[in-house]
Amino acid sequence: MLRRQIRLAAADGADVRAGFVRIRAELDLPNGFPAPVAEAAHRVAAESFAVGGERIDRTDLPFATIDPVDSRDLDQALHIERRRGGYRVHYAIADVAAFVAPGGPLDQEAHRRGVTLYAPDRRIPLHPETLCEGAASLLPGADRPALLWTMDLDSVGEGVAVEVRRAMVRSRAKLGYHEVQRSIDGGTASEQILLLREVGRLREDREHDRGGVDLPTPEQEVVQDGSGWTLKFRAPLAIERWNAQMSLMCGMAAAHLMLHGEIGVLRTLPPADPRDLARLRRSAQALSVPWPEDTSYAAFIRTLDPTRPSHAALLAGSTVMLRGAGYTAFDGGVPDQPFHAALASEYAHVTAPLRRLVDRYAAETCVALCADREVPEWVRLALNAVPKEMSEADRRAHQYERAIVNLVEAALLQGHVGAQFTGVVTEVDERAAKGTVQLQDPAVEASIAGKDLPLGERVQLRLVEADVQRRKVRFELA
């Protein structure tokens, strides 16, 4: 059985990079920006934004950003105050509409792209780097136009008031997740970080109370260091969860504003099909994982440990409950199904406009509603088309990410056909006599052929195929 860590050496990495290029060509992904788009970005990046009119000066607030250490497209900056009976959360979001003229070259290109795409070797940004990593990014020490969300919470973290308006802000610090987590663990965290932890935990509690579902599954990542490439599973840090709660809270507030105003675009997810829930209960029973009748699906999921084989299989089976997410636009009245089942709340995307098209439209709607004025015509005219554009962009992003991981999996394992590994059977399709297995090192999820595969058990596997050109890996029971 193979036990040593499998890593691609630098020479092999060249083949992987060539594979990334092939994937982009297959999916017809853009390489750079057309000249008119790049020129428009340079022009608007040189513009200055004055305080006055609808834009207030909040450069006095000591904002900070918290992101992956190498990020430059900084959408969000945060400042939290403790107030009598609760908290005030100031959440500054990059004001992309200040730079992107409706119908202009930047706007048209953003509609073609939909989202920023990520790969280990490069990003394909939604907007030119001149904007998304420069003039529009909330970089430290620079005055930036922003949409400033002010959210008041009570003592248990429930929202009691919200306002969003245009502002000028200045971030004081660009923080990385790992450094912030180390400061918390080491007892040296600043008051702001401790407040983020406090409010983040309260928001997690409120999510649990609502019946929200957050699958505790680690992410599969392509990791590059000085000695090569490999794949690892990575669980989010606590600070990432708490920071994400600020974004979720803002998105819920935005959804409530739009539903009250009867115009906007929501992120929706239908409730789980009762047949899928019944199937998951049967799987839990077959795997001898306790699931009391009076315990909800959301509460049950929180008891699962992804490091335990039977639990990993149940988590893999739970992903079917999260399928069907999309966007719902409305103008006049409210949607029949405005809910996001995983969050157990109404929700909208408004906090990542540098990286996601829909956020600009939802946020502009909220700014208008808070100011008690008409939603801009350019927003209204685009609302119905945005859900389809985002659906296509999300599909393309998923294809891209899956192809990249499949490529690296095959490249890592191509010299080890015939070798034995240990893995967990996480999915079984009995009719097709196949399933899915998960290895921990390297972090591979691949197909396995065979009848009577033991769901939720740790098994010995033999690698029978690792084809880099087809980006395919296949195992069988040893």
256 and 347 assigned to the same domain: yes
Cβ–Cβ < 8 Å for 358, 390: yes
Is residue 262 a part of any domain in this protein? yes
- SS3 state of residue 20: helix
Partners of 361 in beta bridges? none
Can you tell me the distance from the alpha carbon of 363 to that of 376, in angstroms, rounded to the nearest whole number? 11
**201 and 315 part of one domain:** no
Kindly state whether residues 65 and 213 are assigned to the same domain.
yes
Looking at the structure, tell me whether residues 247 and 294 fall in a common domain: no
Which among 137, 46, 52, 35 has a CA at the least distance from the CA of 96?
137
Let me know whether 286 and 159 are in one domain. no
Per-10-residue mean pLDDT for the chain, 478 residues long? 48 80 97 97 90 89 96 97 97 98 98 96 96 98 98 98 98 98 98 98 97 89 76 92 98 99 98 92 93 94 93 91 94 96 98 98 98 98 97 97 94 93 92 91 91 93 94 95
DSSP assignment of 184-201 equals HHTT---HHHHHHHHHHH
pTM of the predicted protein model: 0.94
Encoding tokens for residue 420? 């034995």
Token code pair at residue 360: 């600009």
Helical H segments across 155-296, by residue range: 177-185, 191-210, 238-261, 274-286
CA nearest 469: which of 419, 406, 400? Answer: 406
Within a domain: 287:
yes
192 shares a domain with 261: yes
- The whole-number pLDDT of residue 160 equals 97
214 and 182 assigned to the same domain: yes
Residues 72 and 209 occupy one common structural domain: yes
**Cβ count within 10 A of residue 310:** 20
Last residue within a domain, chosen from 384, 413, 429 = 384
Residue 455: inside a domain: no
| Claim to verify: residue 354 and residue 314 sit in the same structural domain | no
Residue 138 lies in a domain: yes
Residue 297 lies in a domain: yes
Residue 38 inside a domain? The answer is no
CB atoms within 10 A of CB 262: 12
Note the pLDDT of residue 11: 47
Residue 349 lies in a domain: yes
Residues facing 175 on adjacent strands:
66
384: helix, coil or strand? Answer: coil
Rounded CA separation 344/330 (Å): 20
The secondary structure of residue 140, as a DSSP letter, is B
Residue 357 lies in a domain: yes
The CA distance from 341 to 338, in Å, is 10
Query: How many other β-carbons are positioned within 10 Å of the β-carbon of residue 306?
Result: 18
Residues 84 and 154 in one domain: yes
Do 164 and 264 fall into the same domain? yes
User: By residue range, what is the domain housing residue 87?
Assistant: 52-220+236-270+324-384
139 and 213 assigned to the same domain: yes
Domain boundary, last residue among 350, 384, 418: 384
Question: In the listed set 368, 384, 400, which residue is the last one of a domain according to the structure?
Answer: 384
Selection from 184, 150, 179 nearest residue 61 by Cα = 150
3-state secondary structure of 1: coil
Number of domains in the chain: 2
